[in-house]
Amino acid sequence: MATIDLTTLNWKNGGAMHKESLSVNNKEFKIPKWAKLVTIQAESQAIKFSYTGTDGAAPTADAFPQAVGSIIQYNPQQTSQDRYIYLASQTGTANAYFIFE
């Protein structure tokens, strides 16, 4: 797997959206530096969310479980450094929808 680089999303309308299919292994997402609010919704299956992990590996033991249909919303630290999050489906395949503001 490779990191999903979301830093090139166009934010001229005040935000951006993205959809990604997830398996039971982590996908690494590089978050846009301009994003001050990130909303993630799981569809089809529950997901696991983490700030730490390895792309393509199993989720860490402390990954946060998120029920299907519910949302995760957080305010990323504003920094000049690259920011990453890790998402995986709890079972099977899930879709994750992102909104960046």
Distance of CA 76 to CAs 23, 36, 57, 62, 83, Å?
A: 24, 6, 23, 19, 8
* Spatial distance between the Cα atoms of 47 and 96, rounded to a whole number of angstroms: 8
Terminal C-alpha separation, the chain: 27
Residue 24 placed within a domain: yes
Residue 23 placed within a domain: yes
Residue 8 placed within a domain: no
Residue 3 placed within a domain: no
**What are the pLDDT digits (tens) for 9-39?**
877 777 889 999 999 999 999 998 888 999 9
Residue 6 placed within a domain: no
Supply the CATH number for residue 86's domain: 2.60.120.10
> How many domains, the chain?
1
- pTM assigned to the model: 0.90
Name the residue range of residue 39's domain: 15-100
The pairs formed by 6-10 with CB atoms below 8 angstroms and a separation of 24 or more are: 6/30, 6/31, 6/32, 6/98, 6/100, 7/31, 7/32, 7/33, 7/82, 9/100
**What are the pLDDT digits (tens) for 85-101?**
999 999 999 999 999 99
